[in-house]
Amino acid sequence: MNTSLLAVPVVAPILGAAIAVVVGVRRELQRAVTVTVLSVMVVVAAVVLARVDEHGHLVARAGGWTAPLGITLVVDRFAAIMLLVSTIVLLIVAVYAMGQAGEERERVSFHPLYLVLAAGVSTSFVTGDLFNLFVAFEMMLAASYVLITLGGRPDQVRAGMTYVVISLVASTLFITTLALLYAATGTVNMADLAIRLGEVDPALRHGFSVMLLIVFGIKAGLFPLFFWLPDSYPTAPGPVTAIFAGLLTKVGVYAIVRTQTLMFPPGRGGADWGDDLLLWVAGATMVVGVVGAIAQDDMKRILAFHIISQIGYMIMGLGLFTVAGVAAAVFYVIHHIVVKTALFLVAGLVDRRAGTSRLSSVGGLVRTAPVIAALFAVPALSLAGLPPFSGFLAKFSLTDAGLASSSHAIVAVGLGVGLFTLFSMTKIWTGVFWGDPDTAPERTPQT
């Protein structure tokens, strides 16, 4: 079977970024390149998912070189679904950005950087080795810093610097872990590591597991490694914040699920030591995130803190280390990509219309902008876990898996955090869409 399609999500956005740089200030051409490349990626991702569903996982080896020397691309159902959902979201947000961004936002650099970011996200899902996962993370880091600081406001620059410093710490730990893994096993290919780590001393194996968990936990925003996220994401332009919130943290979660289940499964550095740790981390992440959200008076900051709390649910499913738990975690990841992206896109609309996203300074949008209110209501109810939306199915699946594993404490935490999530969404609805603003900010002209 021809598996060359696996290279398209990696190569196409890089070539597109180069073309976007060449066309320079001709913004319409840049837009055309971006939409064309992302549309091709969506089609290819759909074809890949269909082939994976029919034939099982797909493997492509660059130049015919086998692991551990060659570059290996591997896609199973989990990776294929993530690839398809992420490319669809990237395309939708790109179109949204073109409609909402003004001259000061949609600069010459936006489209090339956005495509580099897309390449990093896609590479994370299709790579079969940890070194190329590291390369993908660096691609995302380089693009993310400039995208966060588009506009050049002081708060954006500060947030961008914080993001870069924390990411560089994670990158340093990541490359150090890779060096130690290679020294111990002679490979960084994940499939090879799944075999060779079984021959490594258990204490060393556990150390590798913890180091990778810290690296990817920083990317995902896990407790206690989340502190950079609430200040970094809300300051970025609306479309950038949406793609960061919807995708970048989920790349970290994907890496955690992939490495912990493949390389450190139960009985080999996984559930024999780490399930309770992951459940404790999941519970703390849920609680800290939702408590932080409750204390905020800004729509974007509330949603940013809820990224943290919702990541806790995903890690809860992994920490159960059961088929049902991991399946629920995967479903929760997909649900959260869609819902959180939608909520931040709506927050961008609110900010653009009202000139602010502070709850006390907006008010009354249900009367003046009922469409925006409706666009908020559906994903907000889903995030809170109310039926019949996807959030209810995701939380019900996690709860069922937790009860089946007799993990009653984490189930209770999840249910309690769900109630506070509903409270937060109600708080946004009351402040932004009902009532009247305490102050009257200057309205941003509409285009």
Taking only the tens place, the pLDDT of each residue in 254-294 is 999 999 988 888 765 444 455 588 899 999 999 999 999 99
Q: Within a 13 Å sphere around the CA of 406, how many CA atoms are in the beta-carbon half?
A: 0
**Per-residue model confidence (pLDDT) at position 61:** 80
- The residues of the chain scoring below 70 in pLDDT are 1-3, 63-70, 101-108, 151-152, 267-275, 435-447
The whole-angstrom separation of Cα 208 and Cα 176 is: 10
Question: Is 58 within a domain?
Answer: no
Q: Which of 365, 335, 338, 354 is nearest to 432 (CA)?
A: 365
Question: Is 314 within a domain?
Answer: yes
**Per-residue model confidence (pLDDT) at position 158:** 81
Question: Is 186 within a domain?
Answer: no
The whole-angstrom separation of Cα 287 and Cα 268 is: 30
Give the residue numbers spanning the domain of 331: 291-447
- 334 in Cβ contact with 79 (< 8 Å): no
**Per-residue model confidence (pLDDT) at position 418:** 92
Question: Is 309 within a domain?
Answer: yes
Q: What is the DSSP letter of 61?
A: E
The whole-angstrom separation of Cα 349 and Cα 388 is: 26
Q: What is the number of structural domains in the chain?
A: 1
**Per-residue model confidence (pLDDT) at position 337:** 95
The whole-angstrom separation of Cα 281 and Cα 253 is: 13
**Per-residue model confidence (pLDDT) at position 125:** 94
36-53 burial: b if 16+ Cβ within 10 Å, else e: ebbebbbebbeebbebbe
pTM, to two decimals: 0.89
Question: Is 399 within a domain?
Answer: yes
Question: Is 281 within a domain?
Answer: no
Name residue 189's beta-bridge partners. Answer: 129
The whole-angstrom separation of Cα 433 and Cα 383 is: 18
Q: Which of 342, 150, 353 is nearest to 242 (CA)?
A: 342
Question: Is 338 within a domain?
Answer: yes
The whole-angstrom separation of Cα 336 and Cα 116 is: 23
Question: Is 303 within a domain?
Answer: yes
Tens digits of residue pLDDT in 104-149: 455 668 889 999 999 999 999 999 899 999 999 999 988 988 888 7
- 363 in Cβ contact with 265 (< 8 Å): no
| Residue 9 neighbours by CB under 8 Å, 6+ apart | 41, 44, 45, 83, 87, 119, 122, 123, 125, 126
